Amino acid sequence: MTKRVCWVTGASTGIGFETAKVFAKAGYIVYATARRKSRLVKLVNELKFAGHEAYAIVCNIQSERSVFSTKKRIIEKSGAIDILVNNAGVTIFKSLLDTKSPEFDNIMDTNLRGSYLAIKSVLPGMVKRKKGHIINVLSTAANSVFEESAVYSGSKAGLLAMSNVLRAEVRKYNIKVTNILPGNVDTPMWDAKIRNRYKNRMMSAREIADIILETAEQPKRVVMEDVVIRPIKGDL
Ligand SMILES: NC(=O)c1ccc[n+]([C@@H]2O[C@H](COP(=O)([O-])OP(=O)(O)OC[C@H]3O[C@@H](n4cnc5c(N)ncnc54)[C@H](OP(=O)(O)O)[C@@H]3O)[C@@H](O)[C@H]2O)c1
């Protein structure tokens, strides 16, 4: 069987890093992208050393040129993109009152516009081949209320709405669209103090990555649409 090609954005740390690993170990050809090259190269070298197929490409999800040239490089090397894991994301923990416009722009340009650009780049190929899977990493903040996360929630709720419409539009091409909505995950998105204090209340990035892989491993005619994942003890 030919290996499936998976592009994971935001793969330098956290959920994306673990997702790149679990897909590579499951036999996918993985393209790990983010801005921090040294972390990607280390990840990919470890995977290659263990006999897996993985490549690192620097890609700033805010830049249309960077996203489309990444897509082009993947296609040139591997011929097609079967799965896009739209994972790159940022946040700040601030009230709306205290949030500055550049902070708003940075969150929206990464989480919402960045995801839109990555989807736009892979979609024509998927439509042509009449198959593909777009997996968006959202958050329970997309549809729950957490103070000091207004802009982040807005970006994730926007992506949820966009993604739901996209799913309806691309069903006819056999393209699957999955929304992953995790609660608190122990990653560098949280500052060290919070991570130390609540480590036992948070899920691990590996646990989320394993579930992301599971959504990609469903039978052809099945799509896991929305996957809400919370720590057993609930939100922080
Ligand atoms: N941690 C949680 O509790 C939690 C809960 C629900 C959902 N999520 C979501 O999960 C996703 C991954 O977050 P995480 O928790 O794993 O945090 P993380 O460890 O901080 O990872 C964020 C990733 O996004 C990348 N990124 C940020 N800005 C980028 C840009 N402009 N271009 C390309 N890549 C960019 C970062 O790489 P570079 O800096 O190297 O570019 C990094 O690899 C995010 O979408 C987040 O919203 C997290």
- CATH number for position 65: 3.40.50.720
Regarding the beta carbon of 118 and ligand 1, being less than 6 Å apart is answered no
Residue keyed to tokens 């890093």: 17
Q: In the prediction, which pLDDT does 140 show?
A: 98
Catalytic residue check, 31: no
127, part of any domain:
yes
234, part of any domain:
no
Q: Report how far ligand 1's centroid is from the alpha carbon of 218 (Å).
A: 25
**Residue with the nearest Cα to atom 7 of ligand 1?**
139
Ligand 1: which of 15, 107, 178, 211 to mutate, judged by most atoms within 8 Å of the beta carbon? 15
Catalytic residue (one of 31, 55, 152, 173): 152
Residue keyed to tokens 């329970």: 140
Q: Report how far ligand 1's centroid is from the alpha carbon of 11 (Å).
A: 8
235, part of any domain:
no
**Residue with the nearest Cα to atom 16 of ligand 1?**
14
Residues forming a β-bridge with 179 = 136, 226
123, part of any domain:
yes
Q: Report how far ligand 1's centroid is from the alpha carbon of 2 (Å).
A: 30
Q: In the prediction, which pLDDT does 208 show?
A: 98
Structural domain boundaries enclosing 113? 5-229
CA end-to-end span of the chain, whole Å? 43
HEC letters along the chain: CCCCEEEEECCCCHHHHHHHHHHHHCCCEEEEEECCHHHHHHHHHHHHHCCCCEEEEECCCCCHHHHHHHHHHHHHHHCCCCEEEECCCCCCCECCCCCCHHHHHHHHHHHHHHHHHHHHHHHHHHHHHCCEEEEEECCHHHCCCCCCEHHHHHHHHHHHHHHHHHHHHHHHHCEEEEEEEECCEECCCCCHHHHHHHHHHCEEHHHHHHHHHHHHCCCCCCCCCEEEECCCCCCC
**Residue with the nearest Cα to atom 20 of ligand 1?**
189
Sign of CA dihedral 45, 78, 83, 114: positive
Give the Cα-Cα-Cα angle 66, 152, 145 (nearest 5 degrees). Answer: 155
Q: In the prediction, which pLDDT does 1 show?
A: 74
110, part of any domain:
yes
Q: In the prediction, which pLDDT does 183 show?
A: 98
- Count of domains for the chain: 1
HSE (side-chain half, CA atoms, 13 Å) at 67: 23
Which residues of the chain fall below pLDDT 50?
none
Put simply, whether the predicted model's pTM sits higher than 0.95 gets the answer: yes
